[in-house]
Structure 1
Amino acid sequence: MFKVYTKTFNELTLQELYDVLQLRAEVFVVEQDCVYQDVDGKDKKALHILGYKKDTLVAYTRIFKPGDYFKEASIGRVVVKANERKHKYGYAIMEASIQAVKENFNETLIKISAQTYLNTFYNNLGFKAIGEEYLEDGIPHVAMVKS
């Protein structure tokens, strides 16, 4: 059973914070072979969307109100544990994140910086690419918006 929780930085337990940082490092640093500053100081402003299967964090995003990351509300650090992707938890965590933006910030316009290879995934959630592709931490990305 997949269960989603929304928490502020201060509401995260030490174990939850550890699990978040471990999952982000597992995918973004190790799996994608990308050395970058994951702990960027922005987690304190974000709302954290945690997706659990039993007691294991398998999916995660962080969301921001307008002005805290982009001019628009935003979703970032979208991550799903590699061996759990077949269960479509990416869609579940993104749908929960879109709903959390609406409920917490009263916003429907959302901007993301998406890894280009996930274009179809984000299109299926209603996001459309804007502008040119760019490199972020050595990985091709594209800005996308959903309104």
Structure 2
Amino acid sequence: MIHWQDLHHSELSVTALYALLKLRCAVFVVEQQCPYQDVDGDDLVGDNRHILGWHNDELVAYARILKSEDELEPVVIGRVIVSEALRGAKLGEQLMTRTLASCVNHWPEKAFYLGAQAHLQSFYARFGFTPVTGVYDEDGIPHIGMAREPGQA
């Protein structure tokens, strides 16, 4: 059983913030062997939101939603992650469903964008995202820009 939270950054407890940074580091930096500056200053600003999935008091799924102050810019979904221990349990689908529901609830008129790892393009396509860039290198990992227009179900 997963306990889900959809939190504005101001609602994050110190424990939740520590857990999300720990999970992101474990997967994106250590597991994927990709040293990069994960703590980028965007986690605790503006109207940004965090989707957290907890199992037995451990954070096992997470996504970050960034809302630009520029009304012409899309909402950016990033740091989409499922812990290695629960991959294959369809948790990614639940995470993206909840993340998109949060986006639509808070910003129904906005387009959404994500920089997907290229091998996950078909996964995000199932949620209405289409490629808007070619494949590009980000920190040594092939990525592709994908967008979803407002009003898509």
Which range, TM-score by smaller chain? over 0.9
Q: SS of 1:51's equivalent?
A: strand
Who is 2:32 aligned against?
A: 32
How far has the Cα of 1:65 moved from its partner? Answer: 2.1
Q: In angstroms, what is the RMSD of aligned CA positions?
A: 1.5
For each residue in 1:68-94, what CA deviation from the matched residue of structure 2 results, as whole angstroms up to 9, or x when unmatched?
7x9201210001001101111111111
Gaps in structure 2 of 5+ consecutive residues: none
Gaps of 5+ in 1: none
Q: Which among 106, 109, 119 is matched to residue 111 of structure 2? A: 109
Shift of 1:138: 1.4
Shift of 1:64: 1.8
| Residue number among 142, 145, 148 corresponding to 1:143 in the alignment | 145
Q: Confirm or deny: 8 A CA contact 2:74 2:110 kept in the other structure.
A: no
Shift of 1:10: 2.1
User: How many residues are paired up?
Assistant: 146
Amino acid at match of 1:18: Y
User: What amino acid is the match of 1:98?
Assistant: L
Equivalent runs, 1:121-140 vs 2, <5 Å: 121-140=123-142
- Of all paired residues, the percent bearing the same amino acid is 41
Which residue matches 1:22? Answer: 22
Q: 1:90 aligns with which of 89, 92, 99?
A: 92
Change in CA separation of 1:60 and 1:107 when aligned onto 2, cut-off 3 Å: farther
Counterpart CA distance in 1 for 2:16 and 2:109 is: 27
Structure 1 position 67, deviation (Å): 4.5
Give the superposition deviation at 1:104. Answer: 1.4
> Could you say which structure has the higher helix fraction?
1
Q: Give secondary structure in 1 for the equivalent of 2:128.
A: coil
Indicate which of 54, 60, 63 corresponds to 1:61. 63
Show the counterpart of 1:76: 78
- 1:100 paired residue number: 102
Supply the distance in 1 between the matched residues of 2:69 and 2:129 (Cα, whole angstroms): 19
What SS does the corresponding residue of 1:131 show, helix, strand or coil? Answer: strand
Cα offset, 1:112, TM superposition: 0.5
User: Could you tell me the TM-score, scaled by structure 2's length?
Assistant: 0.89
TM-score by length of 1: 0.93
